[in-house]
Amino acid sequence: MSRDQIIHTPEEVVRIRRAAAVTAEVRDQIAAQARPGMTTFDLDQVAGELIRATGGKSAFLGYRGYPGNICISVNDEVVHGIGRPDRILLDTDLVSIDVGVEIDGAIGDTARTFGFRELTADLKRLVNGTQEALMAGIRQAKRGNHVRDISLAVETVAKKHRLGVVREYVGHGCGIRMHEPPEVPNFVGFGQGALLSPGMVLCIEPMLNLGTHKVTTDSHDHWTVRTRDGECAAHFEHMVLITENEPEILTWPKTT
């Protein structure tokens, strides 16, 4: 695992902060416009319009050949689901959206999981547990800590709620390119990882499963990642700036 890290200049941080805020707003607009009866392709088109309206462009479209504006992952789909005209959203579906916007040479990347009606007890445990794990990770994103402190906090909350931690995909540095060093795993491995310093921007993004941690990639589209056991998954992602003091969550929902 890379121990490199990118420290952004104050001028870059200004642009990254704006890209992240724009992306967060688009994320919540997409979720607000999602309805049962729409197809996931419809939702991707809505997302494309909302992204264009910001003056930015999708950071995902064309990335390593990715064909969608955003990622839409339903139920047992963990991440990287592609909008499809033959997949109609049901009111019982659990929907994860992951949104990336590039604007003024900076990038925002954020994800959330939602349903359309009251969730079952297990789905509440999954969704609330994943959000709790993300917030516990963010709390460790302070100068002087290491990436391992974030990973440990996320993994500890996941275990507490008996959720499987996806290992193949991890959080990452972000800001000027979508994926920058360091990697930010949601589990603890060897070593303490990069030292956290002011000016670093991290995407912390637990991908947690109701069942086991095991996942598989769709053999036809080569993108969609699903749980092996068919159980549901959740994904929440925030961009966080390491500061001299407390972490600054750059993709927090707009409150006005």
Contact string 163-202 vs Co ion (x = CB under 5 A):
----------------------------------------
Instruction: Name the maximum alpha-carbon separation found in the chain.
Output: 49
Orientation angle between helical segments 121-139 and 147-160, nearest 10 degrees: 160
Residues 192-221 touching ligand MF3, rule: CB under 6 A, are 203, 205
From Co ion, ligand MF3, none, interface partner of 66 (C-beta below 5 to 8 A by class): ligand MF3
- The set of residues, in sequence order, having a beta carbon less than 8 Å from that of 87 and lying 6+ positions away, is 39, 40, 41, 74
Q: Does residue 109 bind Co ion (CB under 5 A)?
A: yes
Q: Does residue 64 bind ligand MF3 (CB under 6 A)?
A: yes
From ligand MF3, Co ion, none, interface partner of 60 (C-beta below 5 to 8 A by class): ligand MF3
Count CB-CB contacts under 10 A for residue 133: 28
Candidate list 25, 109, 155, 183; residue touching ligand MF3; CB under 6 A: 109
Kindly state the tokens that stand for 66: 């990715």
Amino acid at 83: G
Q: Does residue 66 bind ligand MF3 (CB under 6 A)?
A: yes
Q: Which residues are 249's β-sheet partners? A: 240
Spatial distance between the Cα atoms of 200 and 42, rounded to a whole number of angstroms: 36
From Co ion, ligand MF3, none, interface partner of 64 (C-beta below 5 to 8 A by class): ligand MF3
Among the listed ranges 87-95, 209-217, 218-226, 236-244, the one in contact with Co ion (CB under 5 A) is: 236-244
Q: Does residue 98 bind Co ion (CB under 5 A)?
A: yes
Q: Which residues are 227's β-sheet partners? A: 215
Q: Which residues are 204's β-sheet partners? A: 238
Candidate list 42, 102, 155, 237; residue touching ligand MF3; CB under 6 A: 237
Q: Give least dist CB 154 to ligand MF3, A.
A: 14
Kindly state the tokens that stand for 202: 């991290």
Q: How many residues interact with Co ion (rule CB under 5 A)? A: 5
Spatial distance between the Cα atoms of 173 and 202, rounded to a whole number of angstroms: 4
Closest CB to ligand MF3 among 34 and 97? 97
- The set of residues, in sequence order, having a beta carbon less than 8 Å from that of 230 and lying 6+ positions away, is 76, 211
Contact 138, 181 (CB under 8 A): no
Candidate list 100, 137, 173, 193; residue touching ligand MF3; CB under 6 A: 100
Q: Does residue 203 bind Co ion (CB under 5 A)?
A: yes
Closest CB to Co ion among 180 and 237? 237
Spatial distance between the Cα atoms of 87 and 83, rounded to a whole number of angstroms: 8
From ligand MF3, Co ion, none, interface partner of 22 (C-beta below 5 to 8 A by class): none
DSSP state of 209: E
Kindly state the tokens that stand for 251: 């993709």
Q: Residues interacting with ligand MF3, by CB under 6 A? A: 60, 63-64, 66, 71, 80, 98, 100, 109, 172, 203, 205, 237
Q: Residues interacting with Co ion, by CB under 5 A? A: 98, 109, 111, 203, 237
